[in-house]
Amino acid sequence: MKLGAFSVSLNVKNIEVSKTFYESLGFSVFAGTIESNYLIMKNENTIIGFFQNMFEKNILTFNPGWDQNSNTLKSYTYIREIQQELKNNNIKLVTEAAEDSIGPASCIITDPDGNTILFDQHI
């Protein structure tokens, strides 16, 4: 499976404080706005998302079809193919994309330690 761009999505208490802290580590804003309660920050190929009041736990995120700069990949595994492969490997889905749909979609699983993993295809 080609899972696409990887990032960590953090549930933050104060997005401005988190932004300032990670800027001191060399990260810069890549997408999002403080007003919309989310920022995506980057340091080289490392991507961290900050989300205030959007979800409870931190999330590991894969974006099928995108590289680390949100460019569309020429070849990638579509979300519904990933979802089917997960099912074939007896991995329980928390949420899933409608199998008969096309285009952008997502599905969620949890790892053995309860960490949330989001597969989020935007194209």
- The reported pLDDT for the residue numbered 106 is 98
Question: What would the mean pLDDT of 93-114 be, rounded to a whole number?
Answer: 96
Residue 116's pLDDT band, with cuts at 50, 70 and 90, is very high
Q: Determine the residue type at 81.
A: E
What would the two tokens of residue 16 be? Answer: 């401005």
Q: Do 86 and 107 form a contact (C-beta atoms < 8 A)? A: yes
Q: Considering the entire predicted model, what is its pTM? A: 0.93
Which pLDDT belongs to residue 28? 98
Residues 6+ apart with CB under 8 A from 106: 79, 95, 97, 118, 119, 120, 121
- Domains along the chain with CATH numbers: 5-121 (3.10.180.10)
Q: How confident is the model at residue 15 (pLDDT cuts 50, 70, 90)?
A: very high
54 contacts 61 by C-beta, under 8 angstroms: no
Q: Find the radius of gyration of the CA atoms of the chain.
A: 15
Model confidence pLDDT, tens digit, residues 43-89: 999 999 999 999 999 999 999 999 999 999 999 999 999 999 999 99
